[in-house]
């Protein structure tokens, strides 16, 4: 980015534009399905009902459901019955999280030996002005940036404050379940400190926080846990879809390809072993990380390990939603914040964002996000983009393979 961010006026313009964009569009946009569920969840929770009873219901632990309930009560107090006020209040944590991440990038980069401030501003600008980040966050209404804050915080505190690291990791899981994927790496590195008190503090803090934030609400509010458990189990081996490279197989039907010789692609899709291949893939990835980096060396090393593990999951899981890629970008930015701007690949960051954004444009599609302002028929754009989906999912898979190989080589060489 060749913008003179050392100039205060330019930097404040970037910040001002980022704030105005988010505040202006937040109340009037949202994914009809997901934001619709957030709104119904808040109404149910505020009324004392379980958010896991009526299908479709929220697919996350209770923490976000409780926030939706608070958002409903607050928005009703401010502007009773106004859906735009309700949506805006729901999105406040998502909106704030973008700037917390930018602040964290600035703070981490300041510790670099030279040009720390400039580096932080460049990385923060690449995050705040990324159209993909804007769409999957404050427009769509997804809180993956909150998950990223908690995961990065847990990594930073792992060696010095293991209890707080465990709390932060647990809160990430309490928002969305997928951060549980990083648990093996976190345990390996906290154990590598060879301090039994550190290990005990981290595990105890993680388990206690999980008990309070995930399971205690079911007891206090007498919600049936079956609905939540059912959603969690269903995520293990879903039908291929989203931007998962594996979804290339069913998407080929969009271009008229339903079989390869005597092999039906539908039979391939229905194979349970294919849907569960991510489990042995992640196990092998963890073993590779332990083999190459068995001890806690540095924060960038842990970020590399988490990036490798997460990209392996994105490559091999049967269903990947578009917003899950945001964590990949954030890990890239923080690796550069710790290791220096020369370790940041602008091209990799931009290409990955463009691939997922283009897929999202046709798959969601993009016209759906003007909810609840308008309900635009999604069919024309979705039908137009159907033939592009298999190739975009395949390109995304090639992108992930390239990055996995690059990260594995870097992890092997990093001191």
Of 5, 1, 15, residue with least CA distance to 99? 15
Neighbouring C-beta atoms of residue 380, cutoff 10 Å: 11
Answer with the residue of higher pLDDT: 369 or 396.
396
Beta bridge partners of 241: 319
Q: Would you state the pLDDT for residue 292?
A: 83
On whether residue 8 sits in a domain, the answer given is no
On whether residue 9 sits in a domain, the answer given is no
Residue-number span of the structural domain to which 39 is assigned: 15-413
On whether residue 360 sits in a domain, the answer given is yes
On whether residue 155 sits in a domain, the answer given is yes
| 59-87 per-position pLDDT tens digit | 899 999 999 999 999 999 999 989 999 99
Residue 7: pLDDT over 50: yes
Q: Would you state the pLDDT for residue 1?
A: 45
Q: At 371, phi and psi to the nearest 5?
A: -115, 135
Instruction: Summarize the confidence of residues 275-280 as an average pLDDT.
Output: 93
If one counts the domains in the chain, the total is 1
Cβ atoms of 125 and 157 within 8 Å: the answer is no
For the chain, percent of residues with pLDDT exceeding 70: 97
Q: Would you state the pLDDT for residue 266?
A: 80
List helix spans (H) across 116-182. Answer: 116-128, 131-134, 144-157, 162-175
For the chain, percent of residues with pLDDT exceeding 90: 68
On whether residue 10 sits in a domain, the answer given is no
Q: Would you state the pLDDT for residue 413?
A: 78
Distances (CA, A) of 414 to 300, 348, 410: 9, 19, 6
| 33-42 per-position pLDDT tens digit | 899 999 999 9
Q: How much is the pTM?
A: 0.94
Question: Confidence band (pLDDT; 50, 70, 90) for 28?
Answer: very high
Residue 310: pLDDT over 50: yes
Q: Would you state the pLDDT for residue 172?
A: 97
On whether residue 221 sits in a domain, the answer given is yes
Cβ atoms of 383 and 342 within 8 Å: the answer is no
On whether residue 3 sits in a domain, the answer given is no
88-109 as b/e: b if 16+ CB within 10 A: bbbbebbbebbbebbebbbebb
On whether residue 7 sits in a domain, the answer given is no
Q: Would you state the pLDDT for residue 63?
A: 96
What's the rounded Cα separation, in Å, for the pair 174 and 179? 9
């Amino acid at each position: 980015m060749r913008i003179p961010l050392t100039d205060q006026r330019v930097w404040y313009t970037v910040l001002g534009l980022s704030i105005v964009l988010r505040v202006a569009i937040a109340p009037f946009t949202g994914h009809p399905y997901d934001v619709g569920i957030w709104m119904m969840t808040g109404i149910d929770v505020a009324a004392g009902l379980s958010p896991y009873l009526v299908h479709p219901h929220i697919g996350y632990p209770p923490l976000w459901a409780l926030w939706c309930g608070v958002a409903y009560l607050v928005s009703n107090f401010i502007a009773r019955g106004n859906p735009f006020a309700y949506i805006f209040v729901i999105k406040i944590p998502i909106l704030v999280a973008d700037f917390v991440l930018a602040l964290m990038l600035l703070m981490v980069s300041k510790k670099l030996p030279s040009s720390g401030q400039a580096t932080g501003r460049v990385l923060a600008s690449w995050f705040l002005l990324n159209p993909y980040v804007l769409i999957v966050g404050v427009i769509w209404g997804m809180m993956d940036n909150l998950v990223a804050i908690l995961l990065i915080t847990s990594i930073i505190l792992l060696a010095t404050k293991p209890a707080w690291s465990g709390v932060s990791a647990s809160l990430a899981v309490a928002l969305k379940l997928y951060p549980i994927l990083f648990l093996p790496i976190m345990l390996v590195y906290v154990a590598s400190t060879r301090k039994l008190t550190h290990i005990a503090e981290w595990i105890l803090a993680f388990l206690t926080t999980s008990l309070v934030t995930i399971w205690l609400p079911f007891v206090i509010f007498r919600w049936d846990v079956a609905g939540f458990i059912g959603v969690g189990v269903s995520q293990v081996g879903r039908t291929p879809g989203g931007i998962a490279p594996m979804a290339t197989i069913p998407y080929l039907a969009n271009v008229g390809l339903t079989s390869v010789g005597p092999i039906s692609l539908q039979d391939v899709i229905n194979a349970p072993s294919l849907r569960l291949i991510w489990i042995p893939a992640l196990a092998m990835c963890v073993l590779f990380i332990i083999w190459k980096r068995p001890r806690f060396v540095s924060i960038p090393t842990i970020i590399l390990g988490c990036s490798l593990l997460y990209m392996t999951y994105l490559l091999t899981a049967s269903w990947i939603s578009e917003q899950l890629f945001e964590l990949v970008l954030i890990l890239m930015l923080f690796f550069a914040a710790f290791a220096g701007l020369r370790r940041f690949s602008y091209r990799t960051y931009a290409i990955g964002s463009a691939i997922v954004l283009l897929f999202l444009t046709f798959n969601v599609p993009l016209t759906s996000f003007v909810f609840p302002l308008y309900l635009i028929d999604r069919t024309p754009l979705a039908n137009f983009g159907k033939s592009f989906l298999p190739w975009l999912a395949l390109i995304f898979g090639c992108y992930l393979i390239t990055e996995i190989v690059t990260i594995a080589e870097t992890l092997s060489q990093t001191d």
